[in-house]
Amino acid sequence: MPADNRTRSVQVYPCEWRGIALSITHVQRWCAGIDHVQVQSAGRVPLPITTTGFKSLFTPPERLNGYADAKAYVLAWLEHEAASSAWTQHEEEAQQLSLF
């Protein structure tokens, strides 16, 4: 069950990653000892962390340590996952014209 709304801290970060508009929402203390980070791309464009353009992550707050904020964490996460061969292939295919 989510924490009492009076004890929550919610930050919304509109930003852009590689030309894709994003909305990143971070709810601190969503539930006992757990934060909630939500990522959504405009138009639900696929991202390296989700094929649907939407990702919900429940995480201990310590996972965000070392980052300025949840936005910095998500952008680093996207860059890390974008180095995968699957995402590289996705980007290459997206740049090629498809006749079928």
Domain positions in the chain: 5-93
Q: What is the pLDDT of residue 4?
A: 53
Residues 44 and 66: their CA atoms lie apart, in Å, by 28
- Which tokens go with 21? 């508009």
Using CB atoms within 10 Å of the CB of residue 73, give its burial: 0 to 12 exposed, 13 to 18 middle, 19+ buried: buried
pTM (predicted TM-score): 0.85
User: pLDDT tens digit string along 28-84?
Assistant: 999 888 999 999 999 999 999 999 999 999 999 999 999 999 999 999 999 999 999
Sheet holding 20-31, edge to edge: 9-17, 20-31, 34-41, 54-59
Please check the confidence at residue 5 and state whether its pLDDT lies above 70.
no
Q: Are strands 20-31 and 34-41 parallel, antiparallel or unpaired?
A: antiparallel
